[in-house]
């Protein structure tokens, strides 16, 4: 399920060779230059945003259409992958039966067979739902479906229990939701989407439907429902699966040019979200998947909010405190501290910068952005030790003699030692970028536009 090629958001040009000259005018080696073009919104500083009143998230308006499903449909005609009649007694693992179709076959995107249950989903307790892998049968005409070629037509299907979703969304909220969940309608979904502060699958469906393009944001194939479940049918990740898998579940570390390439893609995704006025709120490596071998898209916008806009200036505003949310190891300090008046774009960028740090060092920067509870955050963010070689060399000298690195007795000190080794190995452009970005005070950090135009992004170092 690979997307057709389109021009990605934020690109002015493809990477190109340039020849730079030294101070004496002598030609140096050619370098690869990548040019990203930030929008005006990507260049907005915290000081500029702070001139407008702080607002809560903007109203949700895009309501997705959820079609009516037929489960285990009968009387369908099936063709094999070559378009011929299906041979009798074909083993189910070769041509699994269709489990799910849209009852309105004029709107149907295909028929879906479930091939393997990947895991139970228990975000808010048991019974939330299941994640399945499956294949999509092409609809030739109503009632007639053709099996895909081997390795093609693979899909992922979230199967979500409506009763549990309804109970979670109602908890602590006085919502006028329908008691009959057998066929949830436009009005129900519109109200359910308004729930803040927790994972909201209806908001995830809204984002996929409104801004999904399979280039920046994962787009659904189809949304369906029966009496008990909602089904989100979407493209299945290819090859390396998720960025989390590429980073932490493979034996080989990422090469520096791979890390830079993936980070440039993440920046294009952030530029796209900024243009669309969306704050993801939960960016981490497992929310970026590969639709092709090296093409990243972001997914799981169930916690996202629509960024408010100042009606007078037309610019986005800072957002009222919404509580802690996301993964602590990828959380910005102002989210951890529940600061009233945070920039959603900058907080998403902070998460992206932590992902870059992990790609370059193969270790997380911290467990939580709390100087009292996390020694790495205190030394390397608050004290800005990432790019200060004397600090890292001193840590090497002191901690290197305290314990055997193979069997450390003090985990926090071992983490500091490992991190300091990685910091000393960072390239000059990476150090420059980290120096200007990892600041506790948001008004001291690089903006999204400045990161997009940084030397690390523009020039590939050897």
DSSP string, 253-292: PPPHHHHHHHHHHHHHHHHHHHHHTEE-S---GGGEEEEE
Q: Where are the beta strands (DSSP E) in 16-128?
A: 16-21, 27-33, 67-71, 77-79, 100-102, 111-121
What's the pLDDT band for 347 if we cut at 50, 70, 90?
Answer: very high
CA distance 278 to 275: 8
Helix (H, G, I), strand (E, B) or coil at 307: coil
Query: Average model confidence (pLDDT) for the chain?
Result: 87
Q: What is the pLDDT of residue 178?
A: 58
- In tens, the pLDDT along 149-192 reads 888 899 999 999 999 999 888 876 766 665 689 999 999 999 99
What is the band of 4 on the pLDDT scale with cuts at 50, 70, 90? very low
Ordered domains of the chain (ranges, CATH): 33-59+238-458 (1.10.510.10), 67-235 (3.30.200.20)
Q: State the DSSP H helix or E strand holding residue 139, giving kind and residue range, or none if neither.
A: strand 129-141
DSSP state of 328: G
Quote the pTM value.
Answer: 0.89
pLDDT at 11: 44
Q: What is the pLDDT of residue 5?
A: 37
Using CA atoms, how far apart are residues 377 and 254, in angstroms rounded to an integer? 24
44 CB contacts (<8 Å, ≥6 apart)? 315, 316, 345, 447
Identify the band that residue 18 occupies on the pLDDT scale cut at 50, 70 and 90: very low
Q: Compute the distance between CA of residue 100 and CA of residue 105 in angstroms, rounded to an integer.
A: 12
User: How does pLDDT run across 395-450, given as a tens digit for each residue?
Assistant: 888 887 665 555 555 677 888 999 999 999 999 999 999 999 999 999 999 999 99
36 secondary structure, DSSP code: B
Q: CA–CA separation, 258 vs 293, rounded Å?
A: 12
Tokens 């314990």 belong to 403
Nearest to 282 by CA among 372, 223, 354, 363: 354
Is pLDDT at 25 greater than 60 in this prediction? no
């Amino acid at each position: 399920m690979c997307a057709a090629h389109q021009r990605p958001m934020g690109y002015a040009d493809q990477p190109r060779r340039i020849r730079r000259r030294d101070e004496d005018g002598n030609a140096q080696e050619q370098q690869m230059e990548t040019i990203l073009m930030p929008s005006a919104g990507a260049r907005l500083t915290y000081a500029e945003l702070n001139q407008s009143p702080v607002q809560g998230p903007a109203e949700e308006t895009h309501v997705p259409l959820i079609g009516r499903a037929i489960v285990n449909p009968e009387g369908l005609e099936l063709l094999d992958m070559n378009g011929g009649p299906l041979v009798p007694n074909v083993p189910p693992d070769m041509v699994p039966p269709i489990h799910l179709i849209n009852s309105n076959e004029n709107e149907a995107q295909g028929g879906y067979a479930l091939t393997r249950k990947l895991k139970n989903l228990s975000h808010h307790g048991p019974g939330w739902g299941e994640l399945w892998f499956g294949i999509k049968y092409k609809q030739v005409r109503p009632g007639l479906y053709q099996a895909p070629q081997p390795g093609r037509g693979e899909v992922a299907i979230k199967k979500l229990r409506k009763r549990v979703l309804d109970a979670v969304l109602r908890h602590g909220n006085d919502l006028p939701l329908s008691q009959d969940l057998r066929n949830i309608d436009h009005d129900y979904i519109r109200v359910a989407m308004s729930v803040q502060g927790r994972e909201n699958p209806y908001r995830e469906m809204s984002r996929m439907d409104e801004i999904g393009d399979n280039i920046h944001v994962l787009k659904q194939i189809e949304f369906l429902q029966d009496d008990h479940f909602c089904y989100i049918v979407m493209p299945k990740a290819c090859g390396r699966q998720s960025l989390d898998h590429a980073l932490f579940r493979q034996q080989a570390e990422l090469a520096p040019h791979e890390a830079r390439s993936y980070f440039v893609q993440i920046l294009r995704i952030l530029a796209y979200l900024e243009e669309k006025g969306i704050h993801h709120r939960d960016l981490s490596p497992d929310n970026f998947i590969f639709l092709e071998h090296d093409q990243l898209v972001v997914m799981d916008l169930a916690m996202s909010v629509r960024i408010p806009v100042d009606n007078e200036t037309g610019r986005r505003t800072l957002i009222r405190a919404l509580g802690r949310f996301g993964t602590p190891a990828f959380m910005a300090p102002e989210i951890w501290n529940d600061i009233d008046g945070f920039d959603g774009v900058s907080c998403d960028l902070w998460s992206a910068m932590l992902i870059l740090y992990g790609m370059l060092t193969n270790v997380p920067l911290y467990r939580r952005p709390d100087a009292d509870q996390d020694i790495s955050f205190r030394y390397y963010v608050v004290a800005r030790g990432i790019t200060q070689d004397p600090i890292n060399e001193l840590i090497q000298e002191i901690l290197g003699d305290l314990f055997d690195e193979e069997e450390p007795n003090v985990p926090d000190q071992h983490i500091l030692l490992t991190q300091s080794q990685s910091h000393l190995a960072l390239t000059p452009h990476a150090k420059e970028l980290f120096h200007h970005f990892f600041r506790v005070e948001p008004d001291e950090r690089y903006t999204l536009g400045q990161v997009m135009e940084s030397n690390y992004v523009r020039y590939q170092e050897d």
